[in-house]
Amino acid sequence: MHISEGVLPVTTLALGWGATACGLYIGFRKLDYHRMPFVAFLSAVFFIGSFVHVPLGPTSVHLVLNGIVGMLLGWASFPAMFVALFIQALLFQFGGLLVLGVNTLNMAAPAVVVHYLFRDWLRSGDGVKFVLASVLGASGAVLMSAVMVGLELMSCGGEFRNAALLVFAAHIPVAVVEAVVAFFVFSFLRKSRPEVLKEL
């Protein structure tokens, strides 16, 4: 969920940009040119992922993918998601340029967290650990993002409390769908291209 332009107060926007700038600095320092095409491709997958609609009962939800892509990228999530959101903001006016800092932070910070929490479990041969890593990593990243969006909305003032709760509630079905998708995606990768997971 991207926060729209003009909603958040200046301090929150500035803090978001500051944190994202730090993340970008670390991300780019760790990113060599030989890995850049891969990061750019995964950034493109993250971009297209928000157009994949998964049916859920009478409605459908669109994938967030910050957990799935984030677990593969680590600190490179910051550059990858920043660029994807930047292009989405310019081409489709999703989110916007001033809230880009906050929106990148919401997507990429949970991605870095789940990458370091579950990286080892995802690579291990143990089946139970592998399933737990993919399910908890993907849904955890989505829920963390939802909490961050909620907190940022609360920073606008007390009357945004209900909006924050509503946004969080809307993310719960997304987290469930994302967990199922992550399980299938990582099982497929483990079966057909284990080297993608080995390089984490």
Interactions with another protein, residue window 31-50 (CB under 8 A): 31, 33-34, 36-45, 47-49
Nearer to another protein, 60 or 124 (CB): 60
Establish if 135 lies at the interface with another protein (CB under 8 A): no
Establish if 24 lies at the interface with another protein (CB under 8 A): yes
Establish if 125 lies at the interface with another protein (CB under 8 A): no
Nearer to another protein, 79 or 140 (CB): 79
Interface residues for another protein in 137-156 (CB under 8 A)?
none
Interface residues for another protein in 72-91 (CB under 8 A)?
72, 79-80, 83-84, 86-87, 89-91
Establish if 7 lies at the interface with another protein (CB under 8 A): yes
> For another protein, how many residues bind (rule: CB under 8 A)?
75
Establish if 116 lies at the interface with another protein (CB under 8 A): no
Per-residue H/E/C for the chain: CCCCCCCCCHHHHHHHHHHHHHHHHHHHHHCCCCCHHHHHHHHHHHHHHCCCEEEECCEEEECCCHHHHHHHHHHHHHHHHHHHHHHHHHHHCCCCCCCHHHHHHHHHHHHHHHHHHHHHHHHCCCHHHHHHHHHHHHHHHHHHHHHHHHHHHHCCCHHHHHHHHHHHHHHHHHHHHHHHHHHHHHHHHHHHCHHHHHCC
Nearer to another protein, 51 or 128 (CB): 51
Establish if 14 lies at the interface with another protein (CB under 8 A): no
Residue 130 burial class via C-beta count within 10 angstroms: exposed 0-12, middle 13-18, buried 19 and up: buried
Interface residues for another protein in 163-192 (CB under 8 A)?
163, 166-167, 170, 177, 180-186, 188-189, 192
